[in-house]
Amino acid sequence: MYRDNDRYRTFSRRAIFMFGSKFLLMSGLIGRMYYLQVIEGDRYKTLADENRISLKLLAPPRGRIVDRFGRPLAVNQQNYRILLVPENVPDLQITFTALSSIVPISEGEKKRIKREIKRRRRFLPIVIRENLTWPQVARIEANSSELPGLVIDIGESRFYPDGEASAAVVGYVSGVGEKEFTGDPLLELPGFRIGKAGMEKVHDLALRGKSGTSQVEVNAVGREIRELERAEGRSGNEAWLTIDKELQNFVSRQLGEESASAVVMDVHTGEVLSLVSTPSFDPNAFNRGLSRAEWKKLISNPRSPLNNKAIAGLYAPGSTFKMIVALAALEKGVVSPRRKFFCNGEMELGNATFHCWKKNGHGAMDMVSAIAQSCDVYFYEIARKTGIDRIASMARRLGMGQILGAGLPGEQRGLIPTRAWKRQAKGTSWQQGETVLAGIGQGFILTTPLQLVVMISRLVNGGRAVQPSLTRQIISQSDHASQIRVSSEFEKIGIHPTHLDVMARAMAAVTNSPTGTAYKARIRDGNQAMGGKTGTVQVRRISKAERETGVLKNEDLEWHERDHAVFVGFAPVHTPRYAVSVVVEHGGSGSSSAAPIARDILLEVQRRDPTRNIGNSQALRMPKIQSEREEG
């Protein structure tokens, strides 16, 4: 009996222990389930959604670039593109053959598509071709049964309505290079374009806008099932430029296929109304993607269409530099405007002979007549007496030898030499013969067309340090009514007003006096008359033997050996408002090649300003000049 009671107690303890253990395990399991499903339920629901919901970025519409009147220079247009879904293509070669009858596909494109198929999941679409025409889209849709796996997609693409005419200013967009990834997720979107040149590059971040998002449901392998939610992005800001679109096209037509450049600027505000470099390129070609043949043609062109000559072309200014030499001489007190030097066609300096462009000389020249007739001997004399450092100081005050900050990438500084510069750069001392050459804008001096137009602007606006600008304002899509403010307050550059008056009279004589070098290219309407200065820049050395037997004319030389033609001008003469610089590479004489182009441009820019109250022709003051001949 005692043993039975013992066994009963033992069994009861074990049963209680087992029951308690099971109860504790069950309580822990229920508690854990409660914790996971109730307390942590929201968290795990989110994790589950993240496994089935994918968030995609949507590229925002790129902001427009417009001219000073709001006319489009760079816009977006519908981009029809054809995509290939590899898993739906039974035979890739058959698809290529069928598609090639509608959209030609090169062997290079086929290789690229095959590489992408290998790298990506087969259900992800691959871009075959962008910027399809509507007839191509229609034919693809009509033959869709014979083109399995091909679908048409609609997006946006950059478009430049003026093509080559605006390329020097607007630039272009292209795909993102490997070195251009900055961590911005937008840059990783397939087909995303960024600014690579011109204003597209300068204002790239502002033009990009803010990306949108799309929430799509995906399955376990990442295939998209449906779109759940979409938030559209914000369009990029709009860039308003100082350029006049119609004037830009006009100037481009005037330059034609010459290797040339021209810049038009408001002398008081610094607004650049036109900046053209020719020959140019089609920025739309960069957006769609250049072929190897197209790229090779561009880079092998001897007239350098990819070089923006207006800001990066470096040229000796030639005789257009003579106003700077004259002002430096006046400031030093070397000469008075009325003092005369006799030109017999040459000047001796040591063992060297420096020739005037007019073989038999100009005779007695004062400052106004020397500028009007571009007498070289006169400027040899006053440059030698003034010195290179004083000439360089005046040149810098007038915008030479410095980055002017117009707002375009690639602007060159040029070169205004000094004694110190030569010691540092060449390791030798400055020679007086080099000062003589600088007196006519040759030798080491290098300038850009942009610097030339700034120089002429500062000469005729009362001596104010006007700075060129190409951007008026960046405006968000919600602020189209914003006021556009352009500053016209610039400091004086310290040139005496009477000296500036001498330069104005001399430049008026260049074009309006019968003895001026650009008289044949004058504007006959006195109300719109222009002033200016011609320049003819030698690109080869003329030997003594050639001078004795007769210097060859430009038209008898190979193109690359002909002189550069330069002209700087302003209008109207009595109340200057607009300045222009024109450089025609290997164009020959500045008076015969560059001056007529500048005249037509100044006429057009004045015609396009009908509200301007132009004065009368009585305001012109013509100095008396003796000889008459075109500058050579």
Q: Give the tens place of pLDDT for each residue, 593-608.
A: 999 999 999 999 999 9
Residue 222 structural domain: 56-241
CA distance 440 to 454: 19
- 503 Cβ neighbours under 8 A, 6+ residues apart: 323, 326, 327, 371, 459
Which token pair is 289? 């993607």
Q: Looking at per-residue confidence, does 47 or 296 come out higher?
A: 296
Cβ–Cβ under 8 Å, residues 343 and 363: yes
Q: Is the pLDDT of residue 623 over 80?
A: no
Pairing assessment for the beta strands 272-278 and 260-266 based on DSSP bridges:
antiparallel
Identify the CATH number of the domain in which residue 329 sits: 3.40.710.10
| Residues 106 and 231 occupy one common structural domain | yes
Residue 297 lies in a domain: no
223 and 353 inside one domain = no
Residues 102, 26 share a domain:
no
Task: Tell me what percent of the residues of the chain surpass a pLDDT of 90.
Answer: 57
- Segment 533-545 shows an average pLDDT of 78
CA dihedral 272, 273, 278, 279 (to 10 degrees): 120
Range of lowest pLDDT (96-110, 345-359, 483-497, 537-551): 537-551
In a domain, 631, yes or no: no
Confidence of residue 290 (pLDDT cuts 50, 70, 90): confident
pLDDT of residue 465: 96
Compute the distance between CA of residue 86 and CA of residue 88 in angstroms, rounded to an integer: 5
Residue 624: predicted pLDDT: 38
Which residue would you say has higher pLDDT here, 179 or 414?
A: 414
Q: Does 459 share its domain with 555?
A: yes
- Residue 479, domain member (yes or no): no
pLDDT at 260: 97
Burial class (CB in 10 A: 0-12, 13-18, 19+), 15: exposed
pLDDT score, position 630: 38
Percentage of residues in the chain with pLDDT exceeding 70? 83
Predicted pLDDT at 6? 63
pLDDT tens digit string along 425-467? 999 999 999 999 999 999 999 999 999 999 999 999 999 999 9
Q: How many domains does the chain fold into?
A: 3
pLDDT, mean over the chain: 86
Both 208 and 264 in one domain: the answer is: no
pLDDT 10s digits, 139-175: 888 888 888 888 887 778 899 999 999 999 999 998 8
Is 134 contained in some domain?
yes
Distance separating alpha carbons of residues 575 and 581, to the nearest angstrom: 18
Does residue 628 form part of some domain? Answer: no
What does the pLDDT look like over 481-527, one tens digit per residue?
444 445 567 999 999 999 999 999 999 999 999 999 999 999 999 99
CATH of the domain at 187: 3.90.1310.10
Beta strands at 238-241 and 65-66: parallel, antiparallel or unpaired: parallel
Confirm if 286 and 174 have CB atoms less than 8 A apart.
yes
Predicted TM-score (pTM) of the model is 0.82
| Burial group, residue 262, by CB count within 10 angstroms (0-12, 13-18, 19+) | buried
Q: pLDDT at residue 27 above 80?
A: no
Does position 176 have pLDDT exceeding 70, yes or no? yes
| Whether residues 252 and 226 fall in one domain | no
**pLDDT band (50, 70, 90) for residue 202:** very high
Are 26 and 168 members of one domain? no
257, 204: one domain: no
Taking the C-alpha atoms of residue 323 and residue 427, their distance in angstroms, rounded to an integer, is 30
* pLDDT tens by residue, 378-414: 999 999 999 999 999 999 999 999 999 998 999 999 9
Shared domain check, 463 and 449 = yes
Mean pLDDT for the stretch of residues 96-125:
81
Instruction: State how far the Cα of 16 lies from the Cα of 231, in Å rounded to an integer.
Output: 62
Same domain as 81, residue 20: no
User: Structure tokens of 478?
Assistant: 């919600």
Give the separation between CA 56 and CA 211, rounded to whole angstroms: 10
- 287 is a domain residue: no
User: Does one domain contain both 564 and 590?
Assistant: yes
Of the listed 261, 319, 374, 513, which one is catalytic? Answer: 319
Angle between helices 388-397 and 322-332 in degrees, nearest 10: 110
| Whether pLDDT at 371 is above 50 | yes
Query: 215, 241, 267 — which closes off a domain?
Result: 241
Residue 49 has pLDDT above 60, yes or no: no
Q: Which residues lie closer than 8 Å to 592 by C-beta, 6 or more apart?
A: 520, 565, 630
Active site residue 319: yes
Report CA 83 to chain centroid distance, whole Å.
Answer: 34
> Is 122 contained in some domain?
yes
Residue 389: the pLDDT is 98
Determine, yes or no, domain membership for 301.
Answer: no
pLDDT beyond 50 at 86: yes
362, HSE (Cβ side, Cα atoms, 13 Å): 34
Q: Give the mean model confidence (pLDDT) for residues 27-51.
A: 65
Q: What pLDDT score does 478 carry? A: 61
H or E segment to which residue 386 belongs: helix 376-386
Do residue 420 and residue 534 come from a single domain?
yes
